Amino acid sequence: MIKAENWARPLGVFDSGIGGLTVAKAIKAHLPEEQLVYFGDTAHLPYGDKSTAAIQAYSVKICDLLIRQNCKIILIACNSASAAAYELVREYVGSKAHVLNVIDPVVQYVGERFAGKTVGLIGTKQTVNSNVYKKKIDDLNAGVQLKSVATPLLAPMIEEGFFNNTISESVIQTYLSDPALANIEALILGCTHYPLIKEQITEFYQGRVEVLDASELVARHLGKVLAETGIASERLPGEPHFYVSDYTVSFEASTQIFFQQKVHLEHYPLWE
């Protein structure tokens, strides 16, 4: 079999569930010529309350599939997995593909835009407890003070379809009213599910706080990496390909809403 030119190879994107679709949608909008292969690990969602070892095991198995799909880039479109498994995945994948995470582009933006200011972070327990954002932001020496609050109910709430309603309103307000987030000038949405409730979060702050959506920043960063490495696609792609570790009707429905088209989900159990 003749190996595809690097530019013609697809982009691999994975997450525990529908959260990474916010990133995949932004990539499709910014880079419409790129072919997408998406893996939603619906059998193990959410990752935020899993151990580091478990997330690393899932991530490596998913990468096996994405490497077999000949992906030129593997994007870990999940903050919990980016925190727990990025270094391991990068080592595991080696030279077979470029590995990117969703944390670094956000950290870079915060350093450039909010030097000397106070910034908030909401995310899963895994992401917040890992301190990965704090370490990376501190390493910039930009004088950014980071205040973090774990918001473990948000991702499962969104996966169950509870967003833009009174239930989500109540949970969001409770979390954002935490005194730890007082006097922030920006809020990092440290989970790729959270752009789905960005509107409600923005309304809570009434323009006083810039709400940072990683999906846009990650899509722009990905475009730069493709250009710098000379592997940007040179032609229009086929349809995105979606894999799930456990088929669910809700995931299929969410995917169709995100991409405004009928999608086919291919079931790929990780442990068989």
Of the candidates 67, 124, 68, 128, the one whose C-alpha atom is nearest the C-alpha of residue 99 is 67
Residue for token pair 């752009």: 195
Query: What distances in angstroms separate CA 143 from CA 60, 114, 137, 184, 263, one per listed residue?
Result: 35, 9, 9, 14, 45
> Choosing from 37, 43, 78, 270, which is the catalytic residue?
78
> Is 191 a catalytic site residue?
yes
Q: How far is CA 157 from CA 38, 129, 142, 160, 179, in A?
A: 22, 20, 35, 5, 23
| Active-site annotation holder among 21, 83, 191, 226 | 191
User: Rounded to an integer, what distance in angstroms lies between the CA atom of residue 47 and that of residue 193?
Assistant: 12
Cα dihedral value 94, 96, 100, 101, nearest 10: -70
Written as six digits, the tokens of 270 are 């990780």
Grouping H, G, I as helix, E, B as strand and the rest as coil, residue 220 is helix
Catalytic residues: 78, 191
